[in-house]
Copies of this chain bind each other. A is one copy, B any other.
Amino acid sequence: MSDTQIFDRVAIIGIGLIGSSVALALRANGLAGHVACHDADADVRARADALDIVDSMHADIAGAVDGADLVVVATPVGACGAVAEAMGAHLKPGAIVTDVGSVKGSVITAMTPHIPEGVHLVPGHPVAGTEHSGPESGFADLFQNRFSILTPPPGANADAVATLSRLWQGMGSDVEVMDAEHHDRVLAITSHLPHLIAYTIVGTAADLETELEAQPRDDEVVTTREVIKYSAGGFRDFTRIAASDPVMWRDVFLLNKDAVLEMVGRFTEDMTALQSAIHDDDGDALFELFSRTRDIRRGVIEARQAGRFQYTENGKQSDDDGEEGDA
């Protein structure tokens, strides 16, 4: 056993982007003696096997969690309840069960009834990812310098929370503990609403071509080809997050419904106000808002949450995500 090892045996349920990144991060940092894995999809199991990123692959969930000290559920959040039900009876007494979902309240509600006494449920959420999916997309550094949030239910085992915190820190994350309801509100504005907006505008743009096809005047038709061609003007920033996994995001919106709908409501109100300002030629209102939002960006950069990329092509380096694109 290495100095860094925290768990003898870890089971990962679901080996997509996050599951495979956890597997790689555990290995890279020597945090687990053995990493077992189950995925419900035989094709995904075969692909993950070919990548050699886990120590054992199991077609049955019972085989994967058997003897595991930690089980990491990395499926879309809508599947967490069924996973807990399927594995509940096979969990080792004293084991920790966690997940990586973007919604926490409904995950706790769905999983708790199936977790046997003596097993510690400590839900979690690493705020990290890419728009790519599947076991091929994972990488060991995904969680480096990102926040991982733990949302232990009231009365959760303090040792289990501390051990899981050490694990995420071992994978490079800063760990924060908060209650599930608060997590779901924070993520509704910082992640869920941005994704919903991105999906919407990309859909709006795609529809322009078809909707206007019947129009008599050619110059009114904006084609998808044109939208793509001139996307450097700002649109492409939205296409990236609108390429994220459809099942994962369907589940997030349905399972964090209240907080998401509240944030959508606030956003729509603000959008309507700006619409009126444009309509009424109220340049001062526009200028005031546009000046205020710059400060937030400054905060993002100072908090070093703006990405960790270097602009390499023209030798100009950037301290933020460095993308060019406005126009």
Residue ranges of A at the interface with B (Cβ–Cβ < 8 Å): 102, 125-131, 139-142, 144, 146-147, 149, 179, 181-182, 185-187, 189-208, 219-220, 222, 224-244, 246-247, 249-251, 253-254, 257, 260-261, 263-264, 266-268, 270-272, 274-275, 278-279, 281, 283, 286-287, 289-294, 296-300, 303, 305-314, 316, 320-327
Listed A/B pairs (10) with beta-carbon separation below 8 Å = A182-B219, A187-B230, A191-B234, A196-B271, A199-B274, A206-B296, A229-B305, A236-B307, A236-B321, A239-B293
Contact A189–B205 (Cβ < 8 Å):
yes
Closest to A18 in B: B327
Q: How far is the CA of A320 from the CA of B325 in the complex (A)?
A: 13
Contact B241–A326 (Cβ < 8 Å):
yes
Contact B232–A147 (Cβ < 8 Å):
yes
A196 CB to nearest B CB, Å? 6
Q: How far is the CA of A16 from the CA of B249 in the complex (A)?
A: 40
Contact A208–B266 (Cβ < 8 Å):
yes
Contact B144–A271 (Cβ < 8 Å):
no
For the residues of A in contact with B, the DSSP-based class is helix
Most buried by B among A224, A281, A293, A321: A293
Q: How far is the CA of A219 from the CA of B105 in the complex (A)?
A: 13
Q: Which of B203, B286, B307, B322 contacts A325 (CB 8 A)?
A: B307
Most buried by B among A129, A200, A257, A320: A200
Q: Given A268-B268, A278-B261, A308-B313, A327 and B283 touching (CB < 8 A)?
A: no
A225 CB to nearest B CB, Å? 8
A323 CB to nearest B CB, Å? 5
Residue numbers in B under 8 Å from A308 (CB-CB): 311, 313
Contact B224–A127 (Cβ < 8 Å):
no
Closest to A195 in B: B234
Q: Which of B181, B198, B296 contacts A242 (CB 8 A)?
A: B296
Contact A130–B324 (Cβ < 8 Å):
yes
Contact B296–A323 (Cβ < 8 Å):
no
